[in-house]
């Protein structure tokens, strides 16, 4: 079972991140990086991100979700509000998002506060989802213990019959969160482990302070 990973090595040499080349607002840099990765690099899901919350049991927990929208206000994803992450956010809205795009040798870490988006926005996104995904959201009491997979599949079959030819309403316990950033760090891999790390911190006047960090 034991395996020595000490000799796993990779030299990061694809790009650089210099203060003179980046905008004052980190959301602009995020938009630029996201576009570049999505267009020029081989990533299956550029919008895959890790959401970290502080659980009710006192332990932090990470999970990968999909970013569905980003604006100059923040980052939006959707989930079951009664899920483990939803309960954690209700208890402590301070969260961390992270993106790792290995093909571009880039990483972004975002600290912020999560809050529910307006119900009409959740309605609009729910209506845009494939019908199977809509039914899946109704079927799943996310994070709850179930007896077996057959239970979920039977419940799905029942709902398919119930809603045949009908519009599927959004469950009230399912919707979106927006994470409004207070700190964003951009990491660009560089040779000899001297990586570029640029951190933006939101100031009381809502401007961003920018600093270079040691790798």
How does 127-143 read in b/e, with b if 16+ C-beta sit within 10 Å?
eeeeeeebbebbbbebe
Select which of 69, 131, 149, 193 is catalytic: 193
Joined tokens for residue 120: 């009409």
Query: Any idea which residue has 């209506």 for tokens?
Result: 127
With a CB cutoff of 8 Å and minimum separation 6, the contacts of 56 are 87, 88, 91
Active-site annotation holds for 106: no
Joined tokens for residue 7: 């000799």
Active site residues: 193
């Amino acid at each position: 079972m034991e395996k020595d990973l000490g000799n796993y090595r990779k030299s990061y040499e694809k790009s650089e991140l210099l203060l003179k080349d980046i905008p004052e607002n980190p959301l602009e840099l995020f938009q630029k990086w996201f576009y570049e990765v999505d267009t020029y690099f081989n990533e299956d899901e550029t919008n895959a991100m890790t959401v970290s919350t502080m659980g009710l049991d006192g332990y932090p927990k990470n999970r990968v979700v999909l970013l569905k929208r980003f604006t100059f206000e923040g980052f939006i994803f959707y989930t079951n509000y009664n899920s483990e992450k939803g309960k954690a956010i209700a208890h402590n809205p301070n969260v961390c998002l992270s993106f790792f795009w290995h093909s571009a040798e880039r990483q972004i870490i975002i600290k912020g506060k999560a809050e529910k988006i307006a119900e009409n926005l959740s309605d609009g996104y729910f209506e845009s989802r494939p019908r199977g995904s809509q039914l899946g959201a109704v079927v799943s009491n996310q994070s709850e213990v179930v007896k077996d997979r057959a239970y979920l599949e039977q419940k799905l079959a029942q709902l398919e019959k119930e809603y045949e030819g009908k519009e599927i309403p959004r469950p009230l316990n399912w919707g979106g969160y927006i994470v409004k950033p207070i700190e964003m760090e951009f990491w660009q891999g560089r040779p000899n482990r001297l990586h570029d790390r640029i951190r933006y911190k939101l100031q009381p006047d809502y401007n961003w302070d920018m600093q270079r960090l040691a790798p």
